[in-house]
Amino acid sequence: MHIAVVGLGPAGSLLAHRAVHRGWTVDGYDPACGGTDIDPSLPSWRSTWGLPVAALPDWARDVIPFAGLCEDLRAYTPALHRLDYGRYGVIDRSALRSRLSPGIRLHRQRVDTLTARALGVDAVIDCRGVIDRPGSIRQVAYGLFLPVDIARDAGISPGVFMDWRPAPGASDDGADPGFLYVQSTGDSVLVEETVLATRTPTRELLPTLKARLHARLGPVAESAIGSETVHFPIDRRRRPWYLGADEHGTATFGAAGGLTHPATGYSVAAAAAAADTALDQLVEGVAHRGRWSAALAWRLRLLGSELIVRAGDGDVLPRFFDAFFRLPPGLQRGYLDGQNAAPVAAAMVSLAAFPRQALPFLRPLPTALRYTLKPR
């Protein structure tokens, strides 16, 4: 089998790596490839990715290296929740690129015609991501990297999945509610102010997030050794990944295929977990049951994203996540990970049982669930 992978972010590179592992011939295309035209390398990835290690398939746990690992993952709503997700890791991007690149025939060029015939291959996988457009639901974040010793002396402890306690003055800024995310990157501590899901344009929201983070950190912010800006759509895809290849021999994967979780923004673990299935589909075709379940899981999570956007300001979202983190750990993980609709629906049905007066923005959920689950 000879395939072309167009777009070599983490998802495309993981997919290409698994194809090489099968003995396939793999051409990888990305104009952002480093190195030289004669000796290209995988692109440098700028974003910081963290994930629960247990969400990865066995092969990926051996391949994906971590710069920082946390054994005690916590959330504040403001009540303290100790999350039973297992170890949480921040990926070592440079080491991962080195592990994924062997065997991929890299091309530092743009591809405009994504068909198997045009590229002289058996199949093409589009991994170019998606474009953030007006009206998209997006995740926006601003973070600072602090020296480990300064973070420790300031009482900033990694392992914070979500801290919904408001930043000083945040209740008066009129912007979307957000949370603090704190993780070790090995040689630094990332402290990031995040809005989970919003339709507010990024350029309007970033100054507010920066102000909130500086208000939280105070003088410690001046010791930052780097910063990070995050913004990407979480409700968009080019074509569902679970449909396999079209009549032109072209499939999609990663964010282009809808593997960004519509309600959390997580994507790397999902790409690793789906890589072998996506490659199997190129050879064996698409299993109807798996396609239906993955489609429904995406629609249910998209519904969750829409409800988060509608939640508004104040303490509504902290109350919602307080309810979510009180669900049995298996229900939480079922909503956060995987392409199976059943655990996603089970978690949402459990949340729908909470009193409407406590979580008023969930009032449409039972009706919306019935509509979403209706066969059509």
* Residue 292: closest CA among 375, 204, 359, 177: 375
| Domain 138-233 listed as CATH 3.40.50.720 | no
Residue 294 CB partners (closer than 8 Å, separation 6+): 240, 241, 242, 339, 340, 341
User: What residue spans of 116-196 are helical by DSSP H?
Assistant: 116-119, 148-153
Is cis: bond before 78, omega within 30 of 0? yes
Buried/exposed code over 336-350 (b: 16+ C-beta within 10 A; e: otherwise): bbbbebebbbbbbeb
The whole-angstrom separation of Cα 164 and Cα 183 is 15
Q: What is the pLDDT of residue 362?
A: 65
Around Cβ 163, how many Cβ atoms within 10 Å? Answer: 22
Cross-strand pairs, 69: 89
The whole-angstrom separation of Cα 224 and Cα 209 is 16
User: What residue spans of the chain are helical by DSSP H?
Assistant: 10-21, 58-63, 93-100, 116-119, 148-153, 202-217, 268-284, 288-310, 316-324, 329-336, 341-352, 365-373
Q: Where are the domains of the chain?
A: 2-65+92-130+237-286, 138-233, 289-373
Q: What is the pLDDT of residue 311?
A: 80
Cross-strand pairs, 88: 52, 70
The whole-angstrom separation of Cα 43 and Cα 35 is 9
Q: Which fold has domain 2-65+92-130+237-286?
A: FAD/NAD(P)-binding domain (3.50.50)
Give mean pLDDT in consecutive 10-residue pieces for the chain, a chain of 376 residues.
98 99 98 90 96 98 97 96 98 97 96 96 97 92 98 97 86 84 98 96 95 95 97 96 96 97 95 97 86 92 89 81 94 95 91 66 62 56
Residues 252, 245 contacting (CB under 8 angstroms): no
Q: What is the pLDDT of residue 254?
A: 98
Q: What is the pTM of this model?
A: 0.93
Q: What is the pLDDT of residue 307?
A: 86
